[in-house]
Structure 1
Amino acid sequence: MDVITLGETMAMFSPDTMGKMRYASQYSRKFAGAETNVAIGLQRLGFQTGWISRVGDDEFGKGLIHFVRGEGVDVSQVQADSRAPTGLYFKEIRHEQDVYVYYYRAGSAASRMSADDIQETYIAQTKYLHITGITPALSESCFQAVMQALRFAEKYRVPVVFDPNIREKLWDSKQQARERLGQIAKQADIILPGVSEARYLFGDASLEQYAQRFMEKGASTVILKEGSKGAHFFTKDSHGFVPSYPVERVVDPIGAGDGFAAGLIAGLLEGLPLEERVAKGNAIGAIVTTVNGDVEGLPDADELARFTQVKKGDVDR
């Protein structure tokens, strides 16, 4: 296995029209979650991924498993829970630059994940473990599941990629978020925060200071994302900036960060230099914004190559 991830994926409802959700009468049902977005993005680029989670033993849960399995992701570690439902969320696209997300996930099956759901042999056989800051915020048992996965990763020297992906409303307090995300950061080799997330964790500081704070916790590489501007990368011996790829029209920005993570990890697996890994992440993040839906815009290798060639041609002209 190239990459294993764990977390909640939900049934997602997107209105067929723009505007406030109160006026929407028809919705398209899709499936999405940060961790499966990354797993599916990597699968489309030719890598093997696995996902650990729980879903409700209901029609949404069954459809979700079929969907993720259909994308090639291993779902052998996903349990159907008859005592809790599959989570739901709704998108509200007021206009292309104004997207809201409403979650109905309290008490969901995924929030009942625990350390017992993490199989040592499963973590031991992967090349990378991908973790987000969403999963540990879902419940105490989910936090313990993440920490168990990290312990197994450390035992078998599996590098950890950590995307803080902060969802402030899921945490009991800012202090709890800072403490627990800090604990996870100590176990991570590569950290992918947005600049606003670094500010949430550490307060006002320079980009260099943010990177230093993360590296003091043990990270070897820190990527600070600035959305449509691009991303800054930092290691002990180097730092730099890779501009993003401009797109003519942003249709749906949700999922761009997960696309970035998929591209960066793909570059890791391919052995690319750090700057090229970041560029691949930027490219996939940009592509994702051009399509409505979290995974619908994730490219395969040919689509990614065409996009970067076209954009390079635009720059050269």
Structure 2
Amino acid sequence: MDVVTLGETMVLFTPESEGYMRYSANFSAKVAGAESNVAIGLARLGHNSGWISRLGDDEFGKKVHTFIRGEGVDVSTVRFKESASTGLYFKEMVTDDEVRVHYYRKESAASLMTPQDLNEDYIASAKYLHITGITPALSESCRKTVMKAVEFAKKHEVTVVFDPNLRRKLWSEEQARKALLEIAFKADIVLPGLDEGVFLFGQNNPEMMAKQLYAHGVSQIVIKLGAQGAYYYSKDGKGTIPGFPVKRVIDPVGAGDGFAVGLLSGLLDKLSLKKAVERAAAVGAMATKVSGDVEGLPERERLESFINGTTQGDVNR
């Protein structure tokens, strides 16, 4: 297995019209979750990925399971729970540049995950364990599950990749900062956004953020700067990779997951960190050009065309 990831995936409902959701009569139903987005994106680029989670034993859970399996992701460790429901969320497209997300995930099946849901051998089989800060925010048992997964990965020398993915509504600032830093300092690669770096360290200088993480044993740090690109830092070098301009952003939600896809794919392909960050920026940009969390994640040929500036309608670099 190339990458194993762990977290909640929900059914996403999006109104078919813009404006306040109260006026919407029709919705599309899709599947989305930060960790499964990454697993799907990696599968599209030809890598082997697996996803660990719980789903409700309901029609929405079956929809999620069927969709992710159909995208080529291994779901053999996913468990269904009869007494809990699959989480839902709604993406309210108020205007082209104003998107609101509403979650209905309290007491969902995934929020009830425990360390007993983990298979140590399954995690040990991977080259990378990808985790986000969303899962530990769902419940105390989910936090313990993430920490146990990290423990298994470190035991078996599996590289831990952590995207803080801060969700302020899920927990208090004190809880979030303490838990996210605890996980970050155990990770090998950390991928904060600039705002997350400010939240964790109280200042907005990417290099200083990276140095603090590096001083705590993180070997590679990549700080996402949005449309401006990303700053990377490791013992082999540091620098800023510019973003890929996009003429029209259709849906910004999922861009960070696309970034993680590109970075992990580049590292799996043995690219330098600099080149892997460039691929990450490209996938993140492509994800914003299509509505939906995974619909814009590219296959390899299209990604290479985009990076080389040969895709119809895209910019040259």
How far apart, in 2, do the equivalents of 1:96 and 1:301 lie?
28
Aligned ranges 1:215-294 → 2 under 5 Å = 215-294=214-293
Deviation at residue 149 of structure 1 after TM alignment: 0.4
Q: Which residue of 1 aligns with 2:145?
A: 145
Is residue 2:23 matched to residue 1:27? no
CA shift in 2, pair 1:194/1:311, >3 Å: farther
5+ residue gaps, structure 1, are: none
Q: Deviations over 1:98-153 (max 9, x none)?
A: 11100000000000000001111111110000010000000000001001100100
How far apart, in 1, do the equivalents of 2:127 and 2:96 lie?
37
Q: Which residue of 1 aligns with 2:203?
A: 204
Q: Which residue of 1 aligns with 2:74?
A: 74
How far apart, in 1, do the equivalents of 2:94 and 2:61 lie?
29
Q: Match for 2:8: what amino acid?
A: E
Given that 2:244 and 2:285 are in contact with CA atoms closer than 8 Å, whether structure 1 keeps it comes out as yes
Given that 1:55 and 1:79 are in contact with CA atoms closer than 8 Å, whether structure 2 keeps it comes out as yes
3-state SS of the aligned residue for 2:78?
strand
Aligned ranges 1:52-63 → 2 under 5 Å = 52-63=52-63
With structure 1 as the length reference, what TM-score do the two structures score? Answer: 0.97
5+ residue gaps, structure 2, are: none
Deviation at residue 205 of structure 1 after TM alignment: 4.3
How far apart, in 2, do the equivalents of 1:51 and 1:277 lie?
22
Q: Which residue of 2 aligns with 1:160?
A: 160
Question: RMSD in angstroms over aligned alpha carbons?
Answer: 1.2
Is residue 2:187 matched to residue 1:188? yes
3-state SS of the aligned residue for 1:67?
helix
Given that 1:6 and 1:51 are in contact with CA atoms closer than 8 Å, whether structure 2 keeps it comes out as yes
With structure 2 as the length reference, what TM-score do the two structures score? Answer: 0.97
Identical amino acids, percent of aligned pairs: 55
3-state SS of the aligned residue for 2:146?
helix
Q: Which residue of 2 aligns with 1:120?
A: 120
Q: Match for 1:83: what amino acid?
A: S
How far apart, in 1, do the equivalents of 2:308 and 2:220 lie?
27
Q: Deviations over 1:144-188 (max 9, x none)?
A: 1001100100110000110000001111x2111111111111211
How far apart, in 2, do the equivalents of 1:311 and 1:281 lie?
18
Given that 2:5 and 2:129 are in contact with CA atoms closer than 8 Å, whether structure 1 keeps it comes out as yes
Given that 2:7 and 2:135 are in contact with CA atoms closer than 8 Å, whether structure 1 keeps it comes out as yes
Q: Which residue of 1 aligns with 2:41?
A: 41
Given that 2:164 and 2:180 are in contact with CA atoms closer than 8 Å, whether structure 1 keeps it comes out as yes
Q: Which residue of 2 aligns with 1:134?
A: 134
Q: Which residue of 2 aligns with 1:108?
A: 108
How far apart, in 1, do the equivalents of 2:95 and 2:161 lie?
33
3-state SS of the aligned residue for 1:94?
strand
Q: Which residue of 1 aligns with 2:86?
A: 86
CA shift in 2, pair 1:311/1:241, >3 Å: farther
Q: Which residue of 1 aligns with 2:213?
A: 214
Given that 2:262 and 2:280 are in contact with CA atoms closer than 8 Å, whether structure 1 keeps it comes out as yes
How far apart, in 2, do the equivalents of 1:216 and 1:45 lie?
33
Q: Which residue of 2 aligns with 1:99?
A: 99
Given that 1:231 and 1:244 are in contact with CA atoms closer than 8 Å, whether structure 2 keeps it comes out as yes
How far apart, in 2, do the equivalents of 1:212 and 1:169 lie?
28
3-state SS of the aligned residue for 1:50?
strand
Q: Deviations over 1:183-241 (max 9, x none)?
A: 11121111000000010111124222111111122111111111111000011352100
Q: Match for 2:176: what amino acid?
A: A
How far apart, in 1, do the equivalents of 2:13 and 2:287 lie?
18
Given that 2:246 and 2:315 are in contact with CA atoms closer than 8 Å, whether structure 1 keeps it comes out as no
How far apart, in 1, do the equivalents of 2:228 and 2:296 lie?
20
How far apart, in 1, do the equivalents of 2:236 and 2:125 lie?
30
